[in-house]
Amino acid sequence: MSADNAVETLSWSGCAVTGHLVMIDQTLLPSEVRYLECRDVSTVWEAIKMLRVRGAPAIGIAAAYGFVIGLQSTNHEDEGEYYRVAQQTAEYLASSRPTAVNLFWALNRMQQLCHSLRGELELTEITQKLLEEAQTIHQEDREMCRSIGQFGAKLLGEDVHGVLTHCNAGGLATAEYGTALSVFFTAQDMGKELHVFVDETRPLLQGARLTAWELMQRGIQATLICDSMAAQVMKEGRVHAVVTGADRIAANGDSANKIGTYSVAVLARAHGIPFYVAAPSSTFDLSLESGDQIPIEERQPEEITHGFGRQTAPDGIEVYNPAFDVTPADYIDAIITEKGIIQPVTFENINHILQVL
Ligand code: MRU
């Protein structure tokens, strides 16, 4: 999870040609800390699909390593075959989950490097360079998370003690330290006393299973609530700011995040509480004008009717299970990035802070 915690979300073991990806299996947390070794690309695909690794930046990093794994078994003497497999591997990994843009961002980056080296190096050297690129993506994410924490902690003024977050945007969702949780961790490192209200995050309980666990590991005061209790704790005056992560942010600032985030943003606005999104530049998709164009993943009905193995709804009931929703930019007081704070959230400010224009 981080340099100063025992748990590491993702790591690579061994050399480029025979090494493998190791990840903590997040579906088993908090009751079991077990590591999964990914030695073939279908294991990486399944791990992303089944949320063994989840959270936008962590998915991107896993896919980058998965791209290397996909190339390991190819004939390193046959260039045509190597590049065919590279294309297939990228397409296959990209089909695992649709919403988090970091997945596509990381795979594009790997493919671009792969193509730029064609004919320049031996294929085994290209595989080595690709592993180095995956490790760079991994390291950059560590740095982006730290920087988001530094910028974000400044937004939590003296009168902010109670904060609320939804889903898990912590070390488990990133290389380490997280995005939304990095803001809390950094504030705590600076001596601030925070009390974090953790939405359990139906239906897969990333808040209860992962965020609560991470906050407890770091000794941050935390209270777990059901998603439906957020309005009540806000009305009681116990929440002074909300910080969440994001899976994809459109050019106008509309932000997709775990289902339920939009309702938290509406509640925050109704109670006059600032709502902040914390995300690295790799989570922006400036090719999309607005959040209406963000693809929303729909998951299996069983996640709702048979959550964690127990039937909780009648057989045959119709179910709708979108995994994400989009919070309109109007409801977001600021977006905290590794390059600075976007406030107010406008097309111009996004371009300015991301240094696109
Ligand atoms: O379905 P998940 O668990 O992958 O959803 C994750 C989230 O919605 C996170 O809030 C988001 O990816 C930000 S992670 C820093």
- How many residues in total does the chain contain? 357
DSSP H stretches of helix in the chain:
41-49, 56-72, 79-94, 101-116, 123-153, 180-189, 206, 212-217, 230-235, 261-270, 302-305, 347-353
- 23 SS3 class: strand
Rounded CA separation 347/5 (Å) = 38
Pocket test for ligand 1, best of 247, 263, 264, 327 (most atoms within 8 A of CB): 247
> Given the CA of residue 59, which atom of ligand 1 is nearest to it?
4
- 355 SS3 class: coil
Distance (angstroms) between ligand 1 centre and the Cα of 89 equals 23
Report domain extents, the chain: 3-145, 148-354
| Other beta carbons within 10 Å of 4 | 10
> Given the CA of residue 102, which atom of ligand 1 is nearest to it?
12
Q: Assess whether the region 3-145 and the region 148-354 belong to the same CATH fold.
A: no
Q: Are 210 and 168 in contact, with CB atoms under 8 Å apart?
A: yes
What's the alpha-carbon Rg for the chain, to the nearest Å?
A: 20
Phi-psi region of 157 (alpha: psi -120 to 50; beta: other; left: phi over 0): beta
Distance (angstroms) between ligand 1 centre and the Cα of 234 equals 23
Pocket test for ligand 1, best of 23, 52, 54, 227 (most atoms within 8 A of CB): 54
pLDDT of residue 334: 98
- CB neighbour burial string for 300-309, b if at least 16 within 10 angstroms, e if fewer: eeebbbeeee
In sequence order, what are the residues at sequence separation of 6 or more whose Cβ sits closer than 8 angstroms to the Cβ of residue 315?
A: none
Give the homologous superfamily in CATH for domain 148-354. Answer: Translation initiation factor eif-2b; domain 2 (3.40.50.10470)
Amino acid, res. 1: M
Pocket test for ligand 1, best of 97, 168, 277 (most atoms within 8 A of CB): 168
Picking from 139, 133, 337, 312, the residue whose alpha carbon sits closest to that of residue 253 is 337
Positive or negative torsion for Cα 210, 62, 70, 248: positive
Our answer on whether the CB atom of 206 is closer than 6 Å to any ligand 1 atom is yes
Burial of residue 339, with CB atoms counted within 10 A of its CB: 0-12 exposed, 13-18 middle, 19 or more buried: middle
Q: In what order do the strands lie in the sheet with 162-165?
A: 221-225, 195-199, 162-165, 241-244, 275-278, 334-337, 340-342
What CATH number has the domain spanning 3-145? 1.20.120.420
Amino acid, res. 139: Q
Our answer on whether the CB atom of 260 is closer than 6 Å to any ligand 1 atom is no
Our answer on whether the CB atom of 167 is closer than 6 Å to any ligand 1 atom is yes
- 34 SS3 class: coil
Q: Are 257 and 334 in contact, with CB atoms under 8 Å apart?
A: no
Distance (angstroms) between ligand 1 centre and the Cα of 283 equals 11
> Given the CA of residue 174, which atom of ligand 1 is nearest to it?
15
Our answer on whether the CB atom of 323 is closer than 6 Å to any ligand 1 atom is yes
DSSP H stretches of helix in 271-355:
302-305, 347-353
Rounded CA separation 162/207 (Å) = 16
Q: DSSP assignment of 129-160, as one string?
A: HHHHHHHHHHHHHHHHHHHHHHHHHTTS-TT-
Q: Up-side HSE of residue 240: CA atoms within 13 Å toward CB?
A: 11
Q: In what order do the strands lie in the sheet with 20-24?
A: 10-13, 20-24, 35-38
> Given the CA of residue 323, which atom of ligand 1 is nearest to it?
1
Amino acid, res. 257: N
Residues annotated as catalytic are 247
| Other beta carbons within 10 Å of 232 | 12
**What counts of helices (H) and strands (E) characterise the chain?**
12, 14
> Given the CA of residue 54, which atom of ligand 1 is nearest to it?
4
pLDDT of residue 1: 53
Distance (angstroms) between ligand 1 centre and the Cα of 173 equals 7
Rounded CA separation 350/355 (Å) = 8
Our answer on whether the CB atom of 145 is closer than 6 Å to any ligand 1 atom is no
| Other beta carbons within 10 Å of 217 | 16
pLDDT of residue 3: 46
Mean pLDDT by 10 residues, the chain (357 residues): 67 96 98 97 98 98 98 93 98 98 98 97 97 98 98 96 98 97 97 97 98 96 98 98 98 98 98 98 98 98 96 98 98 98 98 85
pLDDT of residue 355: 87
Residue nearest to atom 15 of ligand 1 (CA): 169
